[in-house]
Amino acid sequence: MKTFDIIKKRINRVSKLMNLSDREVDVILSYKRIKHAKLNIGEKSYEAMRILHNDAIGPGKGGIRYHPDVCEDEVKSLAFWMSLKNSLAGLPYGGAKGGIKVNPKKLNKKELEKLSRAFIREFHNVLGQDIDIPAPDVYTNSEIMGWMLDEYEKIKGKHEPGMITGKPLSLQGCKLRATATASGAFIVLKEFLTKIGKNPSELCVSIQGFGNAGKNIATMLYKDGFKIIAVADSKGGVIDKDGLDITEVIKTKDEKGSVTEYGDKKITNKELLEMETDLLILAALENQITEKNADKIKAKYILEIANGPVTEEADEILYKRNISVIPDILANAGGVVVSYFEWAQNRTGNMFEDDYLEKRLKDIMTSSFQKVYDMHKKKKIDMRTAAYIIAIKRILDAEKARGRL
């Protein structure tokens, strides 16, 4: 089943709990803009797209990913989740996403720069600080955002740093951005564990995905006293029931390209998902837990840092088994919250101290968690459903205020 079909199933279920009309459901599942392009670099051509889901609350906001599996279904789904994520966090944004179907590992730096600038040349008319604001995503980074900003400003003939976030610090980026997604997830996790009365020392943790977010959350948990017993990246993983030395695992990953080069106890991604553990952190890609393996999951708690790692059918199975899932649109919102800080500073010219921004991030993430947890308890529904209800209501309220509904 396609990812957006899974979303539609989830929305149809949530809409019944919210008593939404057919027109309201149609608005939530409709897209403002879907734009495709072919990027020609030398003799090669690459598919690219930028998709805006909804802009009732504000301009589109969402990353650009470079990946060989990029397709319209994936980017549509990611744009949809961005709308809900931004709404839930109370940010002044709608949701958008972009991507290029490419394996960036096969391109040199000069080719990557040409590709990134070509993307802006094709999409600059649908981007801007008041229209749609990109950011880094899978296999994109601050350097790529810098190239994109430069190309955009060349075309427009003016400075507009707020048109893109996740930029280098030298181009008015935000220092917190590099670790923001993991920081937000860490804040939410700690709030959840406080609610259920658990201490870090009591929990064994497994982490699937060891890119930027996975490495950073591992570092934060390790420093806080959590015992991390397994981690995995795209090539596989490593396990140590007595606890991994995360500092050394990260060093190995950085030097040799994969966590599998660390130690001698190997584990596959499938085995990591289904192993005995207390907390399972999903920081890789979507659709990792499905109806095929949901009944084999042994973790008591799941933290979603990746987008859409648990399918609708799996959600129902996990909920019936009393496995708590902290949903992606809540747990991984730290990145876009800090992107908002960067955008706001770019727009106003006001520069805030790091400690102030760290406090704002904590306040926003804690407030979002509290709203979701309260509804989850009050209505006896899973946390994802609670998060969807809160987010969808805000979007529909904005649509009604505009007279569209």
pLDDT digit string, tens, across residues 84-143 = 999 999 999 999 999 999 999 999 999 999 999 999 999 999 999 999 999 999 899 999
Tens of pLDDT, residues 185-231? 999 999 999 999 999 989 999 999 999 899 999 999 999 999 999 99
Rounded CA-CA distance 228/215 in Å is 12
Q: Is 97 a catalytic residue?
A: yes
- Percent of the chain scoring above 70 in pLDDT: 100
Concatenating the DSSP letter of every residue in 57-79 gives SSSEE--EEEETT--HHHHHHHH
> Which domains does the chain possess?
32-81+94-173 (3.40.50.10860), 180-331 (3.40.50.720)
Choose, from 61, 85, 97, 101, the residue flagged as catalytic.
97
Rounded CA-CA distance 129/107 in Å is 29
| 189 CB-side CA count, 13 A | 29
